[in-house]
Amino acid sequence: MILLPKTTKEEADEIIERITQTTKKIKDTKVEISISLGASSKTKESTKMKEIIKKAEDTMYKSKLYKSPSIRRNSIDTILATLYEKDIYSEAHSRNVSRISKEIAIELGMLDKDVKEVETAGLLHDIGKALDQEFEGTHPEIWGILARKYKINPKIVDMIENHHWEQFSISLEAAIVQVADAISSVRPWARREVIEDYLKRVQEMEALVSSFSWVNKAYALSAGREIRVFVDANTISDLEAAEMAKKIADNIQEKLSYPGEVKVNLIREMRVIEVAK
Tell me the CB-side half-sphere exposure of residue 130, using CA atoms within 13 A. Answer: 25
> Looking at the predicted structure, is the pLDDT value of residue 194 above 60?
no
- Please report, as a single letter, which amino acid is at residue 70: S
Q: Is 216 helix (H, G, I), strand (E, B) or coil?
A: strand
Other Cβ atoms within 10 Å of 111 Cβ, number: 9
CA distance 140 to 148: 12
What number is the average pLDDT over the span 1-9? 78
Structural domains in the chain, sorted by start:
9-39+47-69 (no CATH), 87-190 (1.10.3210.10), 194-269 (3.30.70.1350)
Those residues with Cβ within 8 angstroms of residue 100's Cβ, 6 or more apart along the chain or in another chain: 122, 179, 180, 183, 184, 190
| Phi, psi angle pair for 31, to nearest 5° | -125, 130
| pLDDT tens sequence across 122-143 | 888 777 666 655 556 677 777 7
| pLDDT tens sequence across 34-69 | 677 778 888 887 888 888 887 777 677 556 544 545
Q: Is 55 helix (H, G, I), strand (E, B) or coil?
A: helix
> Looking at the predicted structure, is the pLDDT value of residue 220 above 70?
yes
pLDDT at 230: 93
Helices (H) and strands (E) in the chain, counts: 9, 3
Query: By C-alpha distance, which of 247, 213, 246 is closest to 232?
Result: 213
DSSP run (H or E) holding 101: helix 90-107
Confidence of residue 190 (pLDDT cuts 50, 70, 90): very low
* CA dihedral (66, 157, 31, 182) positive or negative: negative
For residues 37 and 60, the answer to whether their CB atoms sit within 8 Å is yes
User: Which one has a higher pLDDT value, 231 or 222?
Assistant: 231
Beta bridge partners of 269: 232
